[in-house]
Chains A and B, each alone.
Chain A
Amino acid sequence: MSKFSVSEKKAASLEESLLDNLQVATQDKDQLTEEEIAALGADLFEVVPYDEEEAERTGYSNYSYWGSTVRMFFKNKTAMLMLLILALMLVFTYIQPLLPNQKDPTWCHWDENGMPLADIQPNSEFWFGTNNIGQDIWSNMWEGTRNSLFIGFAVAMINAVVGIIVGMIWGYIRQLDFILTEVYNVLSNIPSTIILILATYVMSPSITSLIIAMCVTGWMGMARFIRNLTLMIRDRDFNLASRCLGTPTHRVIMKNLLPQMVSVIMLRLALAIPGAIGSEAFMAYIGLGLPATIPSLGSLANAGRQYMMLPSMRYQLIIPCIFLSVITICFYIVGNAFADASDPRNHV
């Protein structure tokens, strides 16, 4: 045996283990005593009828894609922690108004002389201080977080579902390519500001009108993204093989195309939620956001921006920014971890 041959070493170790097994097997006796025979259960001797399904099943491993993805994801401790933080934040936004001694977020507080309690630094009465018209920032923050998370989830989900379906069809079905390209060109070039102004004009500004205005054109980005990914793998050989075998289009899309994109879709989805929160902040910045009675993280951060230069007032900017940052970081890390976990090549 040569010193460096890997294959010979391997063969030798296999041989050894086989010999061990053989020895163990020969030590087992075939002959049983009377008592041992009596101890065996009667069910061992029943004839099992032939089951076709059962016979087929043994041919496959019990690998499940989503099961493995979730298992890989659970292994990532940081991502789990972030998911937990997000869940706790979400739950707390609903619990907070029910707790005792909480203040109404829209109520402007006054002292006994009738002066507004404006710009109070954080203290035991107002945990996060008050803003420039004397509203309690602590209760505003939680109300705003709830609204922002709701807007983020709603917009991201609607955009993702519509975008993925349209994007797949757009990319895969050649006959529809030119129609959808032109629809994209029309819709993506209508300024969202016009839609937003018209939506608030027709429906009166509210969370619903904001979500509708953000979704009317928002799904286009996702659709184009999916379309580009589909174009790349549309004409690969495995799709050609599927078509030759007569696989229906919807099955090709669901089984051949979609699983290849899960990782990028997940990352994109995880970023879409903070993205929607951010674009709500942008709308607050250009003065088209939610009305002043409905707080949101965007409008709170925007209101705090004017105090950037005053160190004593800076808490009004820093608190909303911390909330925004925590939410974004959590989603980013969870999304990246899920994208890594969803790659079947990383599965064991």
Chain B
Amino acid sequence: MLKYALGRIGRSMITIVIIIAVVFSLLRLMPIEGYFSNFDKLSPEEIKNGLEKLGLNDPLPVQLMNFFKQLLSGDFGISYKFRRNVPITEFIGPMAMTSAKFGLLSMGVSLPLGMALGAMMSRKKNGIWDRLGNLYIVIIQAVPNAVYFLMIQTYGTQLLGCSMLYREGQPLTMVMPILSMALPSISSYAMWLRRYMVDETNKDYIKLARAKGVPNTTIWFRHVFRNSVVPMVNQIPGSLLLTISGSIYVESLYGINGLGGLLVSAIKLQDNSLVQLLVLIFSILGIIGLLLGDLLMAAVDPRISFTKKGGSR
């Protein structure tokens, strides 16, 4: 297993280089008008000079080599548009921490609650919990996020009697953003756990265990729950690590200075070095998350193996 993990980390290095090269090349396909705020008024010389300053006139492979050299020397570039001529590392760290704080708190709320709800719902199909839970899931799925987030913001903050925007140092203003982020993930955790648990309960070995007189709690926790949680466990490390990418709706609604909309706005502003760094960070975290998820899945279910054994595929 260790050998497998190390091999995958080694290959991931190459993948990350490929990701950067692909994103780098795609960004160079962007229209050059986007690099200037007043493109129509500029003379051809000024445009040429501007592109020269951004290093966009060299051939693509040369630009790419320069970028990798720059990365290896620990220089993560300067933001040209989002914050004028400020080194990216200066502002990105605190923003990521803010997003991570909200993301981790909401995950801390939603994971146990969602799992508990899903388990309760599957315990008795068409029982009271199943009906209530289904109602909740349907409502969350059906109403567009942007709408109920807005409603939570207006009425929720009124109820708590605090400011509508997030203020640092006022924990009360954090409640509503965390609630907004947790509500959809509670519903998706509950929905999937219920689906897997209902499927598992119908299996023959559970009926056999029942017939043998195994206590219900043992069946529930040792057999049904443990088997149903396997497919879900794969996603958890990834979503845990990617909490730093934030939620674009919630952060823009509550004025939270996080990473939520940063990637989208950086792409729209064509702030190339900022886009590249963000893609680098997110892809490293995503790849680590996927690897941890696979390892965790194999740890929870010993039947899953990534190393070749006799008779395995």
Contacts and interface: CB of A to CB of B under 8 A. Distances in A.
B150 A235 contact: no
Interface stretch (B91-99, B109-117, B283-291): B283-291
B14 interface: yes
Interface in A17-55: none
Interface string A331-348: 011000001100101100
A235 B195 CA distance: 23
Interface string A89-125: 0000000000000000000000000000000000000
B48 interface: no
Contacts of A203: none
A271 B142 CA distance: 10
A261 to B, nearest CB: 10
B143 A325 contact: yes
Interface residues of B, number: 61
Contact of A228 (B27, B234, B248, B249): B234
Interface in A196-228: 197-198, 201, 228
B18 interface: yes
A174 B15 contact: no
Given A190-B279, A301-B144, A181 B138 contact: no
B313 interface: yes
A278 B141 CA distance: 10
Contact of A174 (B7, B275, B313): B313
B138 A332 contact: yes
Contact of B313 (A185, A186, A235, A321): A235
Interface in B250-264: 261, 263-264
B31 A201 contact: yes
A138 B242 CA distance: 41
Interface in B102-158: 137-138, 141-147, 150-151, 154
Interface of A: 172-174, 177-178, 181-182, 184-186, 188-191, 193-195, 197-198, 201, 228-229, 231-232, 234-236, 239-240, 243, 263-264, 267, 271, 274, 278, 281, 285-288, 298, 301-302, 305, 308-309, 317, 321, 324-326, 328-329, 332-333, 339-340, 343, 345-346
Given A301-B146, A332-B141, A346-B202, 15 more contacts: A181-B11, A186-B15, A189-B279, A190-B23, A194-B26, A228-B297, A231-B297, A234-B312, A287-B268, A301-B144, A305-B146, A321-B147, A343-B199, A343-B202, A345-B202
19 contacts: A173-B313, A178-B11, A182-B12, A182-B15, A184-B290, A185-B283, A189-B23, A193-B263, A198-B26, A198-B30, A201-B30, A234-B312, A243-B313, A271-B141, A278-B144, A308-B154, A324-B143, A329-B142, A332-B141
Closest 6 CB pairs of A and B: A189-B283, A325-B142, A328-B142, A345-B202, A235-B312, A182-B15
Interface of B: 7-8, 11-12, 14-15, 18-19, 22-23, 26-27, 29-31, 137-138, 141-147, 150-151, 154, 195-196, 198-199, 202-203, 230-231, 234, 248-249, 261, 263-264, 267-268, 275, 279, 282-283, 286-287, 290, 297, 301, 303-306, 308-309, 311-313
